[in-house]
Each structure stands twice: as structure tokens, then as C-alpha cells.
Chains A and B, each alone.
Chain A
Amino acid sequence: MGLDVRLPIGLMFAIIGILLSGYGMLAPHAEHASLNTGWGCVMLAVGAFMLWLSRRSKK
């Protein structure tokens, strides 16, 4: 089927990752903000990896 499922997954993870880590950094006084930042970065990395995989397979 003409859609590589890694593309939407990668995009979604990247967006949620940016949202989470951004929220964690902008609200440093909130409790456990570092948890948001840290996990947001993990999700961003996973998203970027998925996007890279889907790009690579297209070539």
C-alpha cells in the first residue's frame, strides 16, 4: 500500500516530543518538569529515527 507507516509515526512522535520537551523547558518551576523534557527528547529521537528509516527506504 502506497503509504509507509513509519512516516506518520515518525511525524507524530517528533511533534509530541517537541511539545513535551518544550513544555518542560518553558515551565521549569512546575513539578517534575525535567521528566517532561527528558521524555520529550526521547520521543523526538525515536520520531527522527522513524522518519530517517522511511526516507531511506524511499530512495
Chain B
Amino acid sequence: MQLIAIDWIILGVYFVFVLGIGYALRRYMRTSSDYFLSGRSIPAWVAGLAFLSANLGAQEVIGMAASGAKYGMATSHFYWIGAIPAMVFLGVFMMPFYYGSRARSVPEYLKLRFDEKTRGLNAISFAAMTIFSSGISMYAMALLTNLLLGWSFGFSIWVCAIVVLLYILFGGLTSAIYNEVLQFFLIVFGFAPLVFVGLQRVGGWSGLQTALEEVARSRGFADGAWTQTWSIAGDAAANPMGIEWFGIAMGLGFVLSFGYWCTDFLVVQRAMAANSMSAARRTPLIAAVPKMLFPFLVIVPGMIAIALTHHSATSGFALPLKTDGSFNYDLAMPMLLVHYFPHGLLGLGITALFASFMSGMAGNVSAFNTVWTYDIYQAYIRKGASDHHYLNMGRSATVVGVCLSVAAAYVANRFNNIMDMLQLLFAFVNAPLFATFLLGMFWKRATGHGAFFGLLGGSLAAALHHGLTLPHGAAAGVKGGWLTVLDTYPSEMAQNFWTAIYAFTACFVLTIAISLVTRPRDEKSLVGLVYALTAREVEQEAAWYTRPAPLGIAVLAAMILLNLWFW
């Protein structure tokens, strides 16, 4: 497929606007706080949409459509139980400590609450992870544009890297946030027509359901395996994901989801930039509303793609195959785009793909430069320099961060296995994190030694579990079982969820045990950092929909309704 003039013009308009926003904001960047925290001046709705958009990288959009084709509606577990409860918990219970402690980053909160070594561990692993994940998503994007549009491997990498670099260099976090809001709207309005056209082709919602029932039957599952969520989760063998309800609820819904949404600085940074405590607490709650509806935008197209493929004789659409003969699910969304969008709309769709890619990358870069400058450079390399010095360091870190991610993308292209191994390593590091934050915020007795060794123990447990188990049908190696195979799981996803459950439990138990035998910190130094020692905010005057608790309850109720609807 080749783009024509109108498509290029639309893509060009988008590039002009993202760069324009960065350029317009450059004169507001006077202090390091302006650059890394937007001077804590962002209104709640802007922070909320940026919170969502920073997570909405191209890999998310493409991967969720792929899962929609592969697993059907059950993919929405990643959006409903796998995100909403954690976002509500972050807004209602955790944000008072993040925002109220005046910490400038998540690692810095760990420093205030625990000690230097816990912060160092978190800061260094987080900084490395942002670089690699942005590199890996660049690599995925380059492969995609190469396949779809015939662009060379380097073209989309360099164009996106330079644009993101320029707008963050000029406008810092504010520029990343403003562009994330713009990208959010573009993603919604770029992909929405795809759902509309796709549903039309497949005979509406009921046509989609009928086709998916045939897909499910042809693969030996019950009729609802592609259109329902919980009724097929009683037994791991009864659904294409290969996981049962307990693994979903505990592994995804509790450990992985809370570990990501409540502790990952990439998203929490958006809320920390909000203009008041109330706005910071509402940030994840506002984000939860569109998040809940995203399955219809990103998962449904994947379901449409597999339905159309099932009737490819009449629809004329078929998912491409990989070399081993299985479907290349990752192409579900992009193939629909080039197959059904006329020129013009195609330009908009490609622009939306670029927007999602750039929002994810900018999220990584703006989180990286902050953690690098505040938690590594200022903490270990040069203390006590002028604010202007750190502002300049932030700008340099932006350049270096982008260059390193580009390098990582090229490495991913050459050595795919290294990237798989790194991702695995980061999964081990991240899996136990939520236990540390939970105990840190809600148990005043937790100590720095407990937190640090709990984290290490949790990661070790994750690695051990992975080394001792294997997903069904996989070869021992990077997929697991590299020590010896004690147990097999029905799917890789089930193995991941259970790795997380073990890591969390190990970290939780170890942190408590070690805390009890080490010296607690003076309670006075924990005020504002721990639930029991912090005064509750009074918030009666405001309307209910601007107060976090009622807003959180409303969001949870809507989430439960959606689950019941697609039970």
C-alpha cells in the first residue's frame, strides 16, 4: 500500500501541531520543576487524559487488537479488572502520599519512606526499563511501517525519534502531556471509523457474534468463547487464553495491575503534575472512564478481523499468515486499516498509529529524564548544583534517552533474543513492587531493610518460578523451565500471572519478616508518608463528581456493569 498526497498532508498537519505545541511551551520552561513536573500546574482532565495516553503506545493498540483476534472479548480483562480497580485505588488511597509527600518521582517517594538503597534499586531499574521499552516499541513500529507501507526500517524510527526529541526538549513534561491529550483524541477519532466500517462489513454486532460463535466452535470451544469474559473462565481449558478465573483475578487483576498502575512512574508522573491534591487524586479516576470504553475501540477491531477472516471467501479479507502457518495476529488492526480505509481516512488512521506510538515513547522519555536527573544524577553523581544545572541536565538526558532508545531499536532488530531476555528480567524486577508500596503506605512498621530485601527476594522468587515452570508446548529456555521443569501451565499468560503472584507473595512475606527484626523509623519522620500518620483531607464542600471517593465508586460500579454485560 502506498500513501498518496492527501494522506501525507494529514500526517504532516499532525507533525506541525505536535512540534508547534512544544515550541509554544518553550518560554514557560524556567526551572527544573517546570521541566520535570510542569510546575504542578496541570488541570485534572488534562492530566487524566495524558495519564491514559502515556500508556497507550502503539504496542498497546496493536497488541490489544491482536489479543482481540486471538482470545476475543476476554481480552477486556486487561482493561476492566486489570486496570480500573488499580486506578481507583491509586486515586483514592495512594495519591495523597505521592502528591502530599511532595516527592518529585516515585523512586524519590521510596527514598523518603524507606531509604537510599531502595530508591536506587527502583530508579536504576526503572530508567533502564524505559529506554528498552521505548526501543522495543520503536522496533515494532518500524517493522509494521516496513510491512504495510514499504518504508525502510530506519525511516519511521528516525522521524518519530526526532519529533519526540524536539517537542520534549523544548517543552518538557508539559509538552509531553499536552501532546498526549492531542494524541488521545487523534487515536480515538482515527480508529473509531474502523470499528464502524468493520461492523458494517461483518453484519453489525449480531453478525459479529454469529461469526465468532462459528470461530469458537471450529476450534473446539463453547459458543461464547470469543464473545464472553467470565462464563468461560471456570476452567483454563475452556477458553483460548488458557487461564482460569483465580489466575485472572489475582495475577492480572491484583498483582500485575496494581503493580503497574499504582507504582509505575510513567503514569504516576502525570498525576504528580496536577495543579492540586484534588486534581491529582482525580487524574486516574478521570482516566478510568475512557479506559473502560477502550475495548470497543481496540479489541473489537481484532474480533472483527478474525470474524472476517473466518468468512474470507465472502468478505475478501484474510489475516496474513506467519511463516509457520499460524495467523499473524499483530497485523489485525493495521490490515483492517489498509484494507477498508479509503485514501484520506487512511492518512488519518496512519496518523493515529503514529500518535499512539509517539505518546508511548514520549511518556518513556519524559519519565526517564526525570528519574535520571533527580534520582540518579542529583542523588549519586552531583548533589547541590544550581537548579539551572539540573534543568540543563534534564535536556541532555532527553537527547541521550532518545538516542539510547534508537540504539535499542537497532539492537532489537539484530538480536531478538536479547530483548526477550531483558523484558523477562524487567518482569522479574517489577513483579513484587506493589507489595513494597502497599506495606510502605499502609504499615508504618515497614523498614528500609525490609523493603529492599523484600524486593530482591520477590524478584528472585519470580525468576525461580519462571525457571521451574513451562507453558504447555514450549521449549525450555527464554519461555521458562531453564532450571528444571516441575510444572506446566496451559498457556504463557497463565505462567506470567502465576509468576507475578509468587513474586508478590514472597516480597510481602519477606518485607514483613525483615521489618519485624530491624529497627523501625521514628514515627515523626513518617508523617505524610504513611496512612496511619497522615491527617485525612476534608472534602465535603465540593460536588460529588469532583470528590475522589464517590467518583471512584461510580467508576467501579460502571466497571462491574460492563463485566456483567459481557459475562
Residues of A within 8 A of B (CB): 1-3, 5, 8-9, 11-13, 15-16, 19-20, 23-24, 30-33, 35-36, 39-40, 42-43, 46
Number of A-B residue pairs with CB-CB distance less than 8 Å in the complex they form: 76
Within 8 A of A (CB), among B99-129: none
Report B28-68 CB contacts with A as 1/0, cut-off 8 Å: 10000000001101100010000000000000000000000
Q: From residue A51, how far is it (CB to closest CB) to chain B in Å?
A: 13
Residues of B within 8 A of A (CB): 6, 9-10, 13-14, 17, 20-21, 24-25, 28, 38-39, 41-42, 46, 174, 178, 181-182, 185-186, 189, 193, 197, 341-345, 348
Q: Are A1 and B174 in touch, CB under 8 angstroms?
A: yes
Q: Are B25 and A5 in touch, CB under 8 angstroms?
A: no
Instruction: Show 8 residue pairs from A and B whose CB-CB distance is below 8 angstroms, ordered by the A residue.
Output: A1-B41, A3-B21, A8-B182, A13-B189, A20-B345, A20-B348, A35-B193, A35-B341
Q: Are A9 and B25 in touch, CB under 8 angstroms?
A: no
Q: Are B46 and A5 in touch, CB under 8 angstroms?
A: yes
Nearest residue in B to A37 (C-beta to C-beta)? B344
Q: Are B345 and A8 in touch, CB under 8 angstroms?
A: no
Q: Are B342 and A35 in touch, CB under 8 angstroms?
A: yes
Tell me whether chain B's interface is mostly helix, strand or loop, or mixed.
helix
Kindly identify which residue among A3, A11, A16, A33 contacts B178, using a CB–CB cutoff of 8 Å: A3
- Per CB-CB distance, the 7 closest pairs between chain A and chain B, nearest first, are A32-B342, A36-B344, A12-B17, A23-B344, A5-B178, A23-B6, A9-B182
Q: Are A1 and B38 in touch, CB under 8 angstroms?
A: yes
Bound Cα distance from A59 to B9, whole angstroms: 34
Q: Are A19 and B13 in touch, CB under 8 angstroms?
A: yes
Kindly identify which residue among A3, A31, A39 contacts B193, using a CB–CB cutoff of 8 Å: A39
Nearest residue in B to A2 (C-beta to C-beta)? B28
Contact A16 to B24, CB < 8 A, known contacts A8-B17, A8-B182:
no
Contact A1 to B343, CB < 8 A, known contacts A12-B17, A20-B10:
no
Q: Are B185 and A13 in touch, CB under 8 angstroms?
A: yes
Bound Cα distance from A19 to B24, whole angstroms: 24
Bound Cα distance from A3 to B20, whole angstroms: 12
Q: Are B24 and A3 in touch, CB under 8 angstroms?
A: yes
Q: From residue A10, how far is it (CB to closest CB) to chain B in Å?
A: 10
Q: Which residues of B contact A9 (CB under 8 A)?
A: 181-182, 185
Kindly identify which residue among B6, B14, B39 contacts A12, using a CB–CB cutoff of 8 Å: B14
Bound Cα distance from A30 to B10, whole angstroms: 18
Bound Cα distance from A36 to B41, whole angstroms: 38
Q: Which residues of B contact A30 (CB under 8 A)?
A: 342-343
Bound Cα distance from A30 to B41, whole angstroms: 47
Kindly identify which residue among B13, B42, B181 contacts A16, using a CB–CB cutoff of 8 Å: B13
Q: Are B344 and A43 in touch, CB under 8 angstroms?
A: no
Kindly identify which residue among A8, A39, A40 contacts B20, using a CB–CB cutoff of 8 Å: A8
Q: Are B25 and A1 in touch, CB under 8 angstroms?
A: yes
Q: A9-B182, A30-B342 are in contact. List 8 more A-B contacts (CB 8 A).
A: A1-B174, A2-B28, A3-B21, A20-B348, A23-B343, A23-B344, A31-B342, A36-B345
Bound Cα distance from A15 to B41, whole angstroms: 29
Most buried by A among B24, B189, B342, B344: B344
Q: Which residues of A contact B13 (CB under 8 A)?
A: 12, 15-16, 19
Nearest residue in A to B29 (C-beta to C-beta)? A1
Contact A20 to B344, CB < 8 A, known contacts A9-B185, A13-B189:
yes
Bound Cα distance from A46 to B46, whole angstroms: 17
Bound Cα distance from A32 to B24, whole angstroms: 38
Q: Which residues of A contact B24 (CB under 8 A)?
A: 3, 8
Bound Cα distance from A40 to B10, whole angstroms: 12
Bound Cα distance from A12 to B186, whole angstroms: 10
Q: Which residues of B contact A23 (CB under 8 A)?
A: 6, 343-344
Q: From residue B21, how far is it (CB to closest CB) to chain A in Å?
A: 6
Nearest residue in A to B21 (C-beta to C-beta)? A8
Q: Are B182 and A39 in touch, CB under 8 angstroms?
A: no
Q: Which residues of A contact B174 (CB under 8 A)?
A: 1
Q: Are A5 and B342 in touch, CB under 8 angstroms?
A: no
Q: Are B193 and A12 in touch, CB under 8 angstroms?
A: no
Q: Are A16 and B10 in touch, CB under 8 angstroms?
A: yes
Bound Cα distance from A12 to B46, whole angstroms: 17
Bound Cα distance from A11 to B39, whole angstroms: 26
Nearest residue in A to B351 (C-beta to C-beta)? A16
Bound Cα distance from A8 to B185, whole angstroms: 12
Most buried by A among B14, B38, B182, B197: B182
Most buried by B among A11, A15, A42: A15
Q: Which residues of B contact A42 (CB under 8 A)?
A: 189
Contact A19 to B181, CB < 8 A, known contacts A30-B342, A36-B342, A36-B344:
no
Q: Are B189 and A43 in touch, CB under 8 angstroms?
A: yes
Contact A19 to B185, CB < 8 A, known contacts A1-B174, A3-B21, A5-B46:
no
